[in-house]
Amino acid sequence: MTITFIGHGYVGLVTACIFADFGNEVFVVGHTKEKVARLRKGDPIIYEPTLKELLKKNLQAKRLHFTLDFQEAIPRSEIVFIAVGTPPKDNGEADLSAIFDVSRKLAKYLKRGLTVVACKSTVPVGTNKKIEAILLKHKPKGAEIAVASCPEFLREGTAIYDTLNPDRVVIGTSSKKAAEKLIELHKSLNGKRVMTDLASAELIKYTANSMLATKISFANLISFYCEKTGADVETVLDAVGLDERIGRVFMNPGVGYGGSCLPKDVKAITQTGSNLNINVDFLKAIENINQTAQKNLIQKIKRYSPGKKIAIWGLSFKPDTDDIREAPSINIINQLLELGFKIFAYDPVANTNIKKIFVNKINLLTDQNKPLENADALVILTEWNEFKQTDLKNIKKLLKYPVIFDGRNLYNPQLMKKLGFKYFSVGRKSVL
């Protein structure tokens, strides 16, 4: 099958590489000449484990093509996937301008006969109907279209595994022919098939991400209780998570969620609910708790740091990605800078991206031990594996004071006490 992806971010690029690996001919339409040139050379632009190897393999096999030209890709394709960004507007509503722009552009290149146009971007309910109206208005005479919603559920850092092993493949469409083509395309993937209408498919993605955000914020809410009462949040949540109805997955206290999905999707579904006159206080609380989790860490640093020179480990919003969109680190660093702290930071892959935001305001280092040298305290914001079993005695040796603010609960408080640290984690008794 010949297919096209419009957009080469985490969703578009990863999914395109995998479908090419299955033997399909895949075109990827980009927007920037420089990025398309890099992709053609095998540079995936984004960091995702094993993506570079998969990209190069399918470029060499000539199954994967990157272009700026809609005319090169659209007329050849049986299925066209829209996979462009839907960032939040100032009011939290999803910005759909890129969705509608590419819909107008691709419409005029549709061939005679049927083309399935499937939206992978996360969009509010009703968006695919608007896409359909644009396509019908601008398509050539004789071209037939069928619109579908095929939301993605991949996680950055495990995007390739998640795409190959989804829990479910959601296909929303009213067209039997579109459903058949999409089922055929996805035949090599695992997961339950959920065949539904456009509106349900659109809402499934928002519902899933809002639920995940709820679990994180709920865990942080319980951590607030634990810190006030002396209870241990990890013990509490471990015990609660043993209930099969609840589970422990994603119910992790820390400095809150970030990334390209959860923050914007919670905001978007909140705004959609407001537009529909639905009470969205519950959704607003999810976001408020997320912000409070970051404020609590800042207050601990402000109160207990013995000095103003701070080492930070972890800048990306989660491990195994260089994505810093809505990363808690950005807000926390900004707040610390306003309080007069000097920041020396390290991340395994996100330094380049974070530098674009802070320029010369913080010191970015390429060795995880360098920020520690003579620092007054260490702050941990991302749970990279290399931080979990690091040499704690060496950390103590390098720091000016043995003080750690752990926003991800990486270490055992009893061990930290034994080693002589002052240790402040989330929802657990501080080691003073």
Cite the annotated binding site by residue number.
35, 86, 122, 153-156, 205, 250-254, 258, 264, 318, 325
Mean pLDDT of 20-32: 97
200 confidence band (pLDDT: 50, 70, 90): very high
Every domain of the chain and the residues it spans: 2-196, 211-424
The CATH number, out of the four listed (3.30.1330.60, 1.20.120.1200, 3.40.50.720, 3.40.50.150), of the domain defined by the range 211-424: 3.40.50.720
CA neighbor of 124 nearest in space, from 220, 204, 187, 49: 204
For residue 413 the two structure tokens come to 């408080």
Q: Does 211-424 match 2-196 at the fold level?
A: yes
CB 157 within 8 A of CB 10: no
pLDDT in tens, 143-189: 999 999 999 999 999 999 999 999 999 999 999 999 999 999 999 99
CB neighbour burial string for 188-197, b if at least 16 within 10 angstroms, e if fewer: eeeeeeeeee
DSSP string, 105-152: HHHTTPPSEEEEEEE-S---TTHHHHHHHHHHHHSPTTEEEEEEE---
End-to-end CA distance of the chain: give it in Å, rounded: 63
Whether 261 is catalytic is: yes
Question: 2-196 belongs to which homologous superfamily?
Answer: NAD(P)-binding Rossmann-like Domain (3.40.50.720)
Angle ∠(64,150,6) on CA atoms, nearest 5: 40
Distance (Å, whole) CA 349 – CA 13: 19
Cβ within 8 Å of residue 409, ≥6 positions away: 233, 234, 252, 253, 254, 425, 426, 427, 428
Feature table: binding site for substrate: 153-156, 205, 250-254, 258, 318
Structure tokens at 350: 């996100």
- Largest CA-CA distance found in the chain, in angstroms, rounded: 77
The Cα angle at residue 260 between residues 93 and 6, in degrees rounded to 5: 85
Residues 156-186 as b/e (b if ≥16 CB within 10 A, e otherwise) read: bbebbebbbebeebbbbbebeebbebbeebb
Q: Which residues does residue 94 pair with via DSSP β-bridges, in sequence order?
A: 88
Query: Residue ranges for the binding site for NAD(+)?
Result: 35, 86, 122, 156, 264, 325
Q: How confident is the model at residue 62 (pLDDT cuts 50, 70, 90)?
A: very high
Query: Which pLDDT score is estimated for 118?
Result: 98
**pLDDT single digits (tens) 100-136:** 999 999 999 999 899 999 999 999 999 999 999 999 9
pLDDT of residue 47: 94
Question: Are 220 and 253 within 8 A, CB to CB?
Answer: yes
Choose, from 17, 119, 226, 261, the residue flagged as catalytic: 261
Q: What is the pTM of this model?
A: 0.92
What is the identity of the amino acid at 427? G
